[in-house]
């Protein structure tokens, strides 16, 4: 009896000790309201799946992970306040976002608080370019990487065409437009005009006015440098004006969520880029990627979008760096991440040392017709992959990056 009592006491002590292990908090700074809220929801789902999987394997450094999240509303000022709240709560790293203005502002504040910040959807060149800094790592591709891939495809499929650009007036929009103009040789504004629309806060009248000017032009290619709900709204007006039938519409960055919001009938034929789609693991023979698609689909009954894959990958890559370095210290993790190559949900990727850009393949995609989409089991097979550009050929070189930094008056190394 005494032996049994002692054994029970021992087990009780072990259980109490296990329960006393303090969890490691990860902070998700994401949009669950505003124009990009669908992208935010996908990030939350991907992050939760990764955390649950890691916890099922014993956590990180023997401690369970927990997620704390705050809504940025895609507003930089709010995102910065979130950084302070999450840091005060004890978060050891931060990630998320679907606006480059948010990622840049929040990343700078995270650096001040000594925390790494991983950008999920932040395509502006500035994120790892002129505004790049040591505590910021970008998981997705840059605007320049999208433009290089897209430029190759458009030069082949739309040679010598006139372009018209309608662009969200903030860092992602302006760097996306300038990059695509460079790779399609459409820098001449008199031949290839463009208009800016406010972000955030554009009204339907802003889109209508810009699209009416596009309709009155001689353009054959309409580039909508818009994202999320803004792109959905613009596409509705473009369809009303008959532009979806007479112009090739290009949206530099497409996502599964955007097509779902607008509907494949409206988005049919639109060309853009994605850093990942749920078809990519099958295409590239990625066993780990296929397992992610299966687990995500079983859990949420939908296929994962690229933003879900980005958040999932960030959690796993941060955890891997912690396990390899056996540390939660930001400076130690920077060294563990810089130059690290890996394969997770597709082919090889690398956290490049000099700019902390994730170098990876970029895919040029075209939205399928509604009839094709409806043939799929979950009616979510939205994209044909037209072209793939490998990461080293897509990303700017060290010389190009340093030239961009010099032009902006920034030092030639991350600070």
- Cα 56 to Cα 37: distance, rounded to the nearest angstrom: 29
Question: In this predicted structure, what is the pLDDT of residue 19?
Answer: 53
**Spatial contact of 291 and 282, defined as CB atoms under 8 Å apart:** no
- Three-state secondary structure readout of 341-375: EEECCCCEEEECCCCCEEECCEEEEEECCHHHHHC
Asked if CATH classification 3.40.50.10860 holds for the domain at 20-141+283-360+396-407, the reply, yes or no, is no
Place of tokens 């669908």: 38
* β-strands 358-359, 348-351 pairing: antiparallel
Distances (CA, A) of 389 to 175, 339, 351: 19, 20, 17
Question: In this predicted structure, what is the pLDDT of residue 35?
Answer: 85
Look up residue 242 and give its two tokens. Answer: 């008959």
Phi, psi of 358 (to 5 degrees): -80, 115
Strands of the sheet with 348-351, listed across from one edge: 341-343, 348-351, 358-359
Angle of helix 306-325 relative to helix 287-300, nearest 10 degrees? 120
| C-alpha torsion sign, points 110, 114, 118, 123 | positive
Question: In this predicted structure, what is the pLDDT of residue 154?
Answer: 97
- Cα 136 to Cα 108: distance, rounded to the nearest angstrom: 8
Mean per-residue pLDDT, 60-69: 98
Domain 20-141+283-360+396-407 shares a fold with domain 144-276+362-394: yes
Domain residue ranges of the chain, discontinuous segments joined by +? 20-141+283-360+396-407, 144-276+362-394
Place of tokens 């490998």: 390
Long-range contacts of 265-268 (CB under 8 A, 24+ apart): 265/370, 266/235, 266/236, 266/239, 267/235, 267/367, 267/382, 268/244, 268/367, 268/368, 268/369, 268/370
162-198 residue pLDDT tens = 999 999 999 999 999 999 999 999 999 999 999 999 9
The DSSP element (H or E) to which 39 belongs, if any, is helix 37-56
Question: pLDDT confidence of 323, banded at 50, 70, 90?
Answer: very high
Q: What is the CA radius of gyration of the chain?
A: 22
* Fold of the domain built from segment(s) 144-276+362-394: Rossmann fold (3.40.50)
Averaged pLDDT score across all residues of the chain: 94
Question: pLDDT confidence of 407, banded at 50, 70, 90?
Answer: very high
Question: In this predicted structure, what is the pLDDT of residue 98?
Answer: 87
**Pure H helices in 57-129:** 76-89, 100-112
Mean per-residue pLDDT, 7-12: 44
Look up residue 345 and give its two tokens. Answer: 């949900």
User: Per-residue pLDDT for 77 more than 90?
Assistant: yes
**Spatial contact of 146 and 202, defined as CB atoms under 8 Å apart:** no
Look up residue 238 and give its two tokens. Answer: 């473009």
């Amino acid at each position: 009896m005494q032996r049994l009592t002692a054994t029970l006491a021992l087990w009780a002590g072990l259980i109490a000790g296990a329960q006393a292990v303090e969890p490691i908090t990860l902070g998700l700074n994401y949009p669950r309201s505003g124009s990009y809220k669908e992208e935010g929801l996908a990030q939350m789902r991907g992050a939760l799946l990764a955390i649950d999987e890691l916890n099922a394997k014993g956590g990180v450094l023997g401690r369970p992970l927990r997620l704390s999240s705050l809504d940025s509303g895609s507003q930089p000022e709010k995102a910065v306040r979130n950084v302070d709240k999450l840091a005060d709560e004890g978060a050891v790293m931060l990630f998320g976002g679907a606006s480059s203005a948010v990622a840049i502002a929040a990343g700078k504040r995270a650096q001040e608080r000594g925390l790494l910040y991983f950008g999920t959807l932040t395509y502006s060149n500035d994120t790892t370019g002129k505004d790049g800094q040591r505590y910021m790592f970008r998981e997705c591709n840059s605007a320049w990487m999208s433009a290089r891939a897209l430029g190759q495809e458009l030069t082949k499929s739309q040679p010598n065409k006139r372009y018209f650009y309608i662009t969200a007036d903030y860092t992602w929009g302006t760097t996306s437009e300038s990059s695509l103009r460079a790779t399609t040789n459409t820098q001449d504004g008199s031949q290839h005009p463009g208009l800016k629309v406010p972000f955030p806060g554009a009204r339907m009248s802003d889109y209508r006015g810009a699209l009416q000017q596009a309709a009155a032009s001689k353009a054959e290619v309409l580039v909508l440098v818009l994202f999320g709900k803004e792109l959905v709204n613009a596409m509705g007006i473009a369809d009303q004006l008959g532009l979806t039938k007479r112009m090739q519409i290009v949206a530099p960055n497409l996502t599964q969520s955007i097509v779902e919001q607008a509907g494949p009938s409206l988005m049919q034929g639109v060309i853009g880029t994605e850093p990942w789609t749920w078809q990519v693991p099958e295409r590239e023979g990625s066993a780990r990627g296929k397992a992610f698609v299966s687990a995500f689909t079983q859990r949420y009954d939908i296929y994962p979008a690229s933003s879900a894959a980005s958040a999932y990958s960030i959690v796993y890559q941060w955890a891997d760096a912690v396990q390899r370095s056996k540390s939660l210290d930001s400076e130690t993790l920077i060294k563990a991440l810089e130059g690290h190559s890996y394969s997770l949900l597709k082919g090889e990727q690398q956290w490049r040392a000099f700019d902390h850009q994730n170098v990876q393949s970029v895919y040029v995609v075209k939205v399928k017709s509604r009839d094709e989409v409806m043939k799929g089991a979950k009616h979510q097979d939205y994209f044909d992959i037209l072209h793939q550009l490998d990461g080293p050929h897509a990303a700017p070189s060290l010389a190009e990056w340093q030239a961009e930094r010099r032009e902006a008056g920034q030092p030639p190394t991350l600070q």
